[in-house]
Structure 1
Amino acid sequence: MNDISEDRQWIGIDVSKRCLDVYIRPLGRALQVTNSELGLVELRQQLNGLVIGLIVLEATGGYQTLAARTLMEQGYPTVVVNPRQVRDFAKATGRLAKTDKIDAEVLAHFADAIRPEVRAMASEDGQRLQALVTRRQQLVEMRSAEKTRQRTARPTVQANIDTHIEWLDEQIKALDSDIEALIQQSEQWQRTRDLLTSVPGLGPATIGVLVSQLPELGRLPAKPLASLCGLAPMNRDSGQMRGKRQIVGGRAAVRTALYMATLVATRHNPVIRTFYQQLLQRGKPKKVALIASMRKLLTILNAMVAHDTLWQAPACSLPPAATPVAATT
């Protein structure tokens, strides 16, 4: 960026259920509006005449959606960031106190100093699909917990648990139907789903997560996409010490879906199975080999979507030995 920072304003918005606390840097102006359409009209009036470099909001359990979508639709450069990044930034700059106004000021400082990349927000249908897929994951987790309780439950509660599991099964099936119906409304989603379905090891649940929560699939180079999913190994070196490279961050739901798909692929997908076995034969730990296989699978999926090509095992050549990485919890 060649523009002088002082010529532009950097805006942080701390989001709560009812209010938006706004800080404009470097003007030092703070204001508060309601987290509503009326409040956003008032905010736009306050922004008129400003040369805005970036507006940054934290992801706040969905409460940021209305403000972020409205600001983007009005043409403002707007980014929703991970709260962990902002907390780390606040600690690094010595801002340990926490109030809504201070948080907004920290977000404005973060916008000015870090300048995260602006990405298009998911469409209304995209957000609906994300919500359905997320809800399905929640119900699957509930069902797993109930099945664990089912094994050791006393007879007095066994029937209740059985009934709840049956209800969860019905709700998951209903969500599967809703997800499929929504995908059918988009030719692009249908094509992506068809491409991914051709890959041995990928089931409907994984495909739903990838379609809804990784719209960048097929649109980014392999390395940035791996970083976005938390599969890019990070160096841990200091002085003469050379630590193990680790994966960290990224979209947890996508990484979890890829992990489960890769577990299946190491048994049923010929390319991933061979790649995984080769790493084990070279002495790599199982977890390291599995993470490398996750990244290999993601690279294949990305290429398939980018080139609109169905799965063809003979055409997917194996890469050279992967650099070992270690998982972090």
Structure 2
Amino acid sequence: QIKHLTAQIELIEEQLTEIDKKIEEFSIQNNSPILSIPGISHFSGTSILAELGDISNYSKPSQIIKFAGVAPLHYESSQFNAQHTAITKKGSKYLRKTLYQIILPVIRHNPVFNKYYQLKISQGKGHRCAQGHCVRKLLRIIHHLLKTNQQFDPQLLR
């Protein structure tokens, strides 16, 4: 019984390794500008591309931000105005999850995002809030790179 389960686990691990290789090959063949952003792996870049679909469906970066469900949610009424805002969490939960998983490596390996993250922290934002700002910045950059088919250049960013 245990030998049979061990053999199944090994088979599944081999299949996963093969799938990872195919994703990496596809990613290299596709040569997406997303992969030029430091901190984004082949697997993450392919996941983002798969979730976004055709970039021509998005005329503005705000549409991708809304699709990912990371747009700020403002709550106010005639008598109440919220001090803190959350994200909408509408749209693709898979894209949102992928973005939040990759944002820390992007911040760590990319001086532009690190500087932006530190700016938000110095403005009194919390860690998760600063991450959300970086995710939205990343989506605006991804939109631009895919629309113009340019490689990531940190010198062009503010």
TM-score by length of 1: 0.43
Q: Does 1:175 align with 2:19?
A: yes
Alignment check: 8 A CA contact 2:68 2:92 kept: yes
Q: 1:197 aligns with which of 19, 32, 35?
A: 35
Q: 1:297 aligns with which of 134, 138, 141?
A: 138
Q: Which amino acid aligns with 1:288?
A: C
Alignment check: 8 A CA contact 1:230 1:251 kept: yes
Q: Which amino acid aligns with 1:252?
A: K
Q: Percent of counterpart pairs with the same letter?
A: 24
Match of 2:154 in 1: 313
* Bigger helix share: 2
Q: Does 1:252 align with 2:86?
A: no
Q: Does 1:281 align with 2:118?
A: no
Q: Secondary structure at the match of 1:238?
A: coil
Taking the aligned partners of 2:118 and 2:31, their CA distance within structure 1 comes to 31
Taking the aligned partners of 1:278 and 1:264, their CA distance within structure 2 comes to 17
Taking the aligned partners of 1:162 and 1:227, their CA distance within structure 2 comes to 44
Larger radius of gyration: 1
Task: Let me know the Cα RMSD of the aligned residues.
Answer: 2.4
Q: 1:226 aligns with which of 65, 70, 85?
A: 65
TM-score by length of 2: 0.84
Structure 1 residues 169 and 180: alpha-carbon distance in aligned structure 2, compared to 1, 3 A threshold: same
Structure 1 residues 314 and 178: alpha-carbon distance in aligned structure 2, compared to 1, 3 A threshold: same
How far does the alpha carbon of each residue in 1:3-38 deviate from its partner, in whole angstroms, 9 at most, with x for none?
Answer: xxxxxxxxxxxxxxxxxxxxxxxxxxxxxxxxxxxx
Taking the aligned partners of 1:162 and 1:284, their CA distance within structure 2 comes to 50
How far does the alpha carbon of each residue in 1:289-326 deviate from its partner, in whole angstroms, 9 at most, with x for none?
Answer: 00111011111111111111101111011xxxxxxxxx
Taking the aligned partners of 1:268 and 1:162, their CA distance within structure 2 comes to 39
Task: Tell me by how many angstroms 1:180 deviates.
Answer: 4.4
How far does the alpha carbon of each residue in 1:45-86 deviate from its partner, in whole angstroms, 9 at most, with x for none?
Answer: xxxxxxxxxxxxxxxxxxxxxxxxxxxxxxxxxxxxxxxxxx
Q: Which amino acid aligns with 1:202?
A: I
Match of 2:51 in 1: 213
Taking the aligned partners of 1:291 and 1:221, their CA distance within structure 2 comes to 18
Alignment check: 8 A CA contact 1:217 1:225 kept: no
Q: Secondary structure at the match of 2:150?
A: coil
Alignment check: 8 A CA contact 2:68 2:91 kept: yes
Q: Which amino acid aligns with 1:293?
A: C
* Bigger strand share: 1
Taking the aligned partners of 1:241 and 1:168, their CA distance within structure 2 comes to 54
Q: Secondary structure at the match of 1:237?
A: coil
Task: Tell me by how many angstroms 1:163 deviates.
Answer: 6.9
Taking the aligned partners of 2:122 and 2:24, their CA distance within structure 1 comes to 41
Unaligned runs of 5+ in 2: none
Alignment check: 8 A CA contact 1:230 1:255 kept: yes
Taking the aligned partners of 1:276 and 1:162, their CA distance within structure 2 comes to 46
Task: Tell me by how many angstroms 1:190 deviates.
Answer: 1.0
Taking the aligned partners of 1:162 and 1:273, their CA distance within structure 2 comes to 44
Q: How does 1:17-96 map to 2 (within 5 A)?
A: none
Q: Which runs of 4+ in 1 moved over 6 A?
A: none
Question: How many aligned residue pairs are there?
Answer: 153
Larger RCO, structures 1/2 (Cα 8 Å, 6+ apart): 2
Taking the aligned partners of 1:162 and 1:239, their CA distance within structure 2 comes to 64
